[in-house]
Chains A and B, each alone.
Chain A
Amino acid sequence: MSRIQATFKSLKNKKQKALVPFFTAGDPHPGKTVEIMNALVDSGADMIELGIPFSDPMADGPVIQRASERALKNSVGITTTIKLAAEFRKNNKMTPLILMGYANPIEAIGIDNFISLIKNADIDGVITVDYPPEESVQFVKKLKENNIDSIFLISPTTDDKRLKLIINQATGFLYYVSLKGVTGSANIDIKEVSEKVKNIKTFTDLPLGVGFGVRDAKTAKEVAEISDAVVIGSRIVQEIENSNDKDLINNIRNLMVEIKSSINKNSETSE
């Protein structure tokens, strides 16, 4: 069983939902990345999505764009990101770690090379934003052969036919993008999301995460009620952007604890 599967299974047994924070590797600087990851785990992260900095992040809003720019200024690209992930993994064998990024850096270092690097780093899954299933058949096959999960995005515009196509290739979990827009956009319409999630669930037993518009504890709680995982990205990155080095870790912890407790309140009441 993959680490991602095991995590979802154990949470399900405890009637809990996964909290999955995202931030960009190398932001605010590479020296902080592993420390931030450890703090996220300590304060309630069940999995971590680590962003690979890219010069042209077309699916990201301004907050994550700026994070990418800061990381690139620190010379953090795809190889350093994988190195930082490996460093985190040395002392944490439990928490699933997912890389999220764009196709070009992966292709630039070579797909086979990328897969061998992340296998050595013991990374659990990959989300490639601009690889729709039609264009990533070989990539997904190779990831599967190496027991690395391919996590695909589903959007409000994805119809049932595509849904089946995506589910056919996806492993680990599915990631529902809760709104039409880039990361960090306005708040989500929870009723609409709830209906979409219900529909997706009729096609698959894969766990389903929801993200792209979760900005506060209240929304996180609502999302947790209707899904298996809450992904929170821009709000974490914003905290990184607005904090000085001294307060950074504490600020992230406080934010995480607040969100985590609202998600868990939900699991208690539903028991």
Chain B
Amino acid sequence: MQAYDLPDNFGHFGQFGGTFVAETLIEALDELRDMYEKYKNDPEFLAEFNHDLKHFVGRPSPIYFAERLTKKIGGAKIYLKREDLNHTGAHKVNNTVGQALLAKKMGKPRVIAETGAGQHGVATATIAARLGLECVVYMGSEDVKRQSPNVYRMKLLGATVIPVESGSKTLKDALNEALRDWVTNVSNTFYIIGTVAGPHPYPMMVRDFNSVVGKECKVQMPELENKQPDVIVACVGGGSNAMGIFYPYIDDKSVKLVGVEAAGDGIETGKHAAPLTSNSPIGVLHGNRTYLMQNSEGQIIETHSVSAGLDYPGVGPEHSWLKDSGRASYVGITDKEALAAFHNLCLVEGIIPALETSHALAHAEKIAAKMSPDEVVLVNLSGRGDKDINTVADISGISI
């Protein structure tokens, strides 16, 4: 059987992916692709990357057996890959460390990033401070209001946060604005994209940097259970934590891969952020072709999710490919279900998960209940929920 080897040289995953950008950016993307090709197998670069993952991020992250949760659900064993224990509290930092090192190698003194919830912005500001790079973060003005602690965090780390007032003033608009900055400052600036979206080579590169998660699982899981998991569950915004844990398992067909999108108020209400689960049409946004929430005239429609990090109308092109090829399946979890799973994990395991992650947890609970006790469900616990306590308190009608 042929090993999985996507994307092709032009960044295509079947009909998805590619490079859909204005001409001004092509040279920068070509340069990035060449430099990434050069460094991705370079022993010195990899040594630096792994050194920072170990000593700055705190890797490897453990896999933890959620024993009380398992007992409560009464089915398959539930294990958690603890990305919440990383420095800055989420998987996002794996990728920012890789890209920032690459920026440094390429001699770019300035990095920019887009952010929704602020997690990627914080991770970028963190590594920029660590490496002495100038850092500018674009954030929709709606999100600036909703996520003020993270805005202050970024400022403490020396980053400039620029509120974006265009369009829906959220993550997708922040990405547009970052692309505009990059077009303008392409000679001295490296754009650190926060998920497996954007034009080639970003979906591939972000996946590769995050795949440290899945690689560790492949070693850790047999140590704990003498086998690989039966099912892996991860939430999908753009899809970077999911690709990070899925990718090393793609050729191991005995492991089921399940991505969990934000169903918001429910897929049927139209108020969600689930392009795959809702069978949205294929479209082109932010440099790639993928399933995309849009109206019949191709205008991108507003998304809804309780978690800002999943509030994105598209999805990384590799997920579109994995869906069509049947290698992974995708489901939706509503705000309500995610919140229940959030509280559950707090109370039963003493872990406050991110609201994004809570979507994966909710689905894991559902399927584990129907599986047998000798089966294993592994959840990518993509981040910690400290950033979300204001949101959860608000919803619960509590002022803190």
Q: Which residues of A contact B (CB under 8 A)?
A: 53-59, 61-62, 65, 69, 72, 77-79, 102-109, 129-132, 134-135, 152-159, 162, 166, 177, 180-182, 185
Contact = CB atoms under 8 A, between A and B. Distances in A.
B20 A132 contact: yes
A107 B284 contact: yes
Contacts of A105: 297-299
A104 B22 contact: no
A100 B227 CA distance: 55
A156 B24 contact: yes
B300 interface: yes
B298 A78 contact: yes
A135 B294 contact: no
Contact of A103 (B180, B185, B187, B284): B284
B22 A129 contact: yes
A180 B186 contact: yes
Interface residues of B, number: 38
B26 A158 contact: yes
Contact of B283 (A53, A57, A104, A129): A104
Contact of A58 (B19, B176, B187, B295): B176
Rank and list the top 5 A-B pairs by shortest CB-CB distance, nearest first.
A108-B298, A105-B298, A77-B297, A157-B27, A155-B24
B185 to A, nearest CB: 8
**Which of B172, B281, B287, B299: most chain A Cβ within 10 A?**
B299
**Which of B24, B26, B176, B283: most chain A Cβ within 10 A?**
B24
A180 B184 contact: yes
A58 B299 contact: no
A135 B28 CA distance: 17
**Which of A134, A135, A185: most chain B Cβ within 10 A?**
A135
Given A65-B166, A105-B299, A107-B284, A130 B186 contact: no
B297 to A, nearest CB: 4
6 contacts: A58-B286, A59-B180, A134-B19, A155-B22, A162-B26, A180-B187
Contact of B284 (A53, A130, A177): A130
Contact of B292 (A104, A162, A166): A104
Contact of B10 (A130, A134, A177): A134
Nearest to B187: A180
A144 to B, nearest CB: 20
